[in-house]
Structure 1
Amino acid sequence: MDWNLQFWQSEGKTFPQRFYHWIDILDPLLLLKPTKEIERSRALLLTSGPDITESLQNEEASVNPVTGNIIPTIFRPPAFLPVTAPLALFHACTGGFNLANGSLTEDTKEFPVKQMLLSTGAVLYCAFVGALPHYIMTRYKVQNPSMQLFLKKILPGPLTAILCAFNVLVIRGRESENGIEIMDSKGSIVGVSQNAGEKAVRETALSRALLFGTAVCIPDVVLDYVKRTNVLRRNLFVLGPLRAVMMISILGLMIPVSFSWIPQLGTIQRSLIEPQIISSTEETEFFYSRGI
């Protein structure tokens, strides 16, 4: 079992442990580490064990624990907030992040044309649907107060959450289709399970919906309340910058919360594993890397 996964197995059993650890991993300064230093840290871990904290932190932020590949800088966990904060090319960035941090097996490391088309379609679809509320407001000059409230305040949060979950489900669909590796309690790989792949992708989709749905909803709810105050009534021009600051701040908080919400090292019961996989073992619980 990879040192990253061994660490999550022993130190990531509770939400506070996972949250504290993700705070360390999401340090933006880790993006400045050169590839040679990452490779050196990984080699040091393989020879010295997981008790080297700094090396483990560098590796977890930069290396996919399943494939062992170094993740491109822009798609590493510490880059998630700086890149998505402006929400520019939002779904393309989250799609690349989902793909780079997935839980692929040896047989699915290649990026086939089919998956490229699905990923491109998912990104374009999410961007198109996400822009629909604004398009409807401007194209049809909606004047009805109830409809304006629905399109501007109520719809964006749930719609963003659904689209982000959809993004994960499509782009990481190969894990559901082809399965992911599952391990026994000793870390030995016992097989490739489609059921475990479906569970991992579903859990990640829920965490991504929580992350961005909350980041969109809370600023609108708070600003709708505070803009009724006399100060903001006289200075409506500050609403835009204030909303941007709030969204970035909430994203900064919710990224480690959503990553920590569900354990990185997932578990699946024997009853949910395909019969052909469990026929050779008596284990009652199996483990898998959920991805991010």
Structure 2
Amino acid sequence: MDPNLRFWRAEGQSFSRRLLLWADALDPLLLLKSSNEIKKARWLIQNHEKTSSEPTQNNQTRQAFLLSLSSVHPDTEKIIPVLFRPPAFMPLTLPWVIVSSLQHQAKSTFFFQFVFHTYTTAFTLVNGNGTPKAEEYSVKEKQIFYGLGAISYAACVGALPLIFMNRYTLKGPLTQLIVRKLLPAPLLGVTSAFTAVMVRSPEFENGIQVMDRNGNVVGVSRNAGEKAVRETALSRAVLFGTTFFVPELLMHFVQRAKLVKSPRALSSVRLFLITSVLTGMVPVSLSMFPQCGQIKREDLEPEILSSTEETEFFYNRGI
């Protein structure tokens, strides 16, 4: 089992603990670390006297773990490209979330959401759970094809309410409220979950590796792959659905109470709210489910159960 997964299994089984760990691992300053520093951190982890199943008290070792969690893929053990590391997720999605929330014209909304979903889908693909057939060209080609289709579909869905409103000249207050205030949050949440499911579909088609408590691979499970993808999709829906909904709700109360009257000041308040909610929701969404997921014996396929007497099985959920 990769050191990252052993660390998550030992210290990340409770939501509060995972939240604190992600809050540290998402530090943007970790993006400035060089490949040599990351390799040195991995060497320190692998050669440390303590096992990662024990609480890590040494500050140097803890910092090495945080750098490893934020920079190294636990399946391939390769360094993740800088733009697709977890600490880069919030800074790179924030501008597109902001411009998408403006909901001006259908064409611009389509473009902004296309770019937004392109990045989040690529991030999901890079940080997904590897499958036993992941090195085959056909699987990679399939993931890219599914991803492009999902991105286009999600961008169209995001712009569809504005297209519908403009086409049928629906400009009433109720229509404006529904299209510009109420629909964006659930639509972005659902489409974000949809793109995550599509690009990681090989995981529940081909299965992912499951390990025993000692980290030994005991088989490949489609049920575990389905569970990993479902959890990731749900966390992504919560992340962006909440990021769109909460600022709009708070802005409603701000405008109703007339706390801010200047249009420029209102824009600044909206920008601040979106930034604050997204910054807080990224570690919350990543902490919803364990990174080192656990699946019950009765939930696995018979062919895996027939080869082992183990009762606890673990897998990499991916991000």
Normalised by the size of structure 2, how large is the TM-score?
0.87
**In 2, are the aligned partners of 1:66 and 1:105 still within 8 Å (CA)?**
no
Paired residue type of 2:74: P
1:189 aligns with 2:217: yes
Same amino acid, percent of matched pairs: 47
Residue 99, structure 1, aligned to residue 97, structure 2: no
1:67/1:106 contact within 8 Å kept: no
CA shift at 1:168, angstroms? 0.6
The residue type paired with residue 219 of structure 2 is G
Out of 204, 207, 211, which is 1:176 matched to?
Answer: 204
Matched position secondary structure for 2:160: helix
Q: Which amino acid aligns with 1:198?
A: E
Q: Deviations over 1:229-267 (max 9, x none)?
A: 3343x3133323322221111010000001111111111
- Once residues 290 and 36 of structure 1 are traced to their aligned partners in structure 2, the CA distance between those partners, rounded to angstroms, is 27
Gaps of 5+ in 2: 97-111
**1:124-163 alignment runs, 5 A limit:** 124-163=152-191
Report the equivalent of 1:275.
302
Separation in 1, partners of 2:132, 2:31: 26
Structure 2 Cα separation of the partners of residues 80 and 204 of structure 1 = 15
What is the CA–CA distance in structure 2 between the aligned matches of 1:231 and 1:138, rounded to whole Å? Answer: 32
Q: Aligned partners of 1:113, 1:243: CA distance in 2, in Å?
A: 40
d(CA) in 2 for partners of 1:236 and 1:229? 15
CA distance in 2, matches of 1:275, 1:26: 39
1:113 and 2:141 are equivalent in the alignment: yes
2:34 aligned partner: 34
Correspondence for 2:69: 60
Residue in structure 2 matched with residue 288 of structure 1 by the alignment: 315
Q: Which amino acid aligns with 2:170?
A: V
Aligned residue identity for 2:227: K
Summarize the Cα distance change of 1:47–1:230 in structure 2 as closer, same or farther, 3 Å threshold: closer
In 2, the alpha carbon distance for the partners of 1:43 and 1:135 equals 54
* CA distance in 1 between partners of 2:281 and 2:213 (Å): 31
Q: Which amino acid aligns with 1:107?
A: K
- Report if aligned partners of 1:176, 1:198 keep a CA contact under 8 Å in 2: yes
Alignment: residue pair count: 291
Q: 1:275 to 1:178 in 2, by over 3 A?
A: same
**Displacement of 1:110:** 4.7
1:264 paired with 2:297, answer no
TM-score normalised according to structure 1 size = 0.95
Q: Give the conservation status (yes or no) of the 8 Å contact 2:11–2:18.
A: yes
Q: CA RMSD in A?
A: 1.5
Matched residue SS, 2:159: helix
Give the equivalent residue in structure 2 for 1:241: 268
1:199 to 2:227 alignment:
yes
Asked whether 1:83 is paired with 2:105, we answer no
Structure 1: 4+ residue segments shifted above 4 A: none
Paired letter, 1:104: G
- The alignment status of 1:2 with 2:2, answered yes or no, reads yes
Please tell me the residue identity of whatever aligns with 1:26: L
Query: Residue type of the partner of 1:39?
Result: K
1:222 aligns with 2:231: no
Measure, in 1, the Cα distance between the counterparts of 2:259 and 2:309: 67
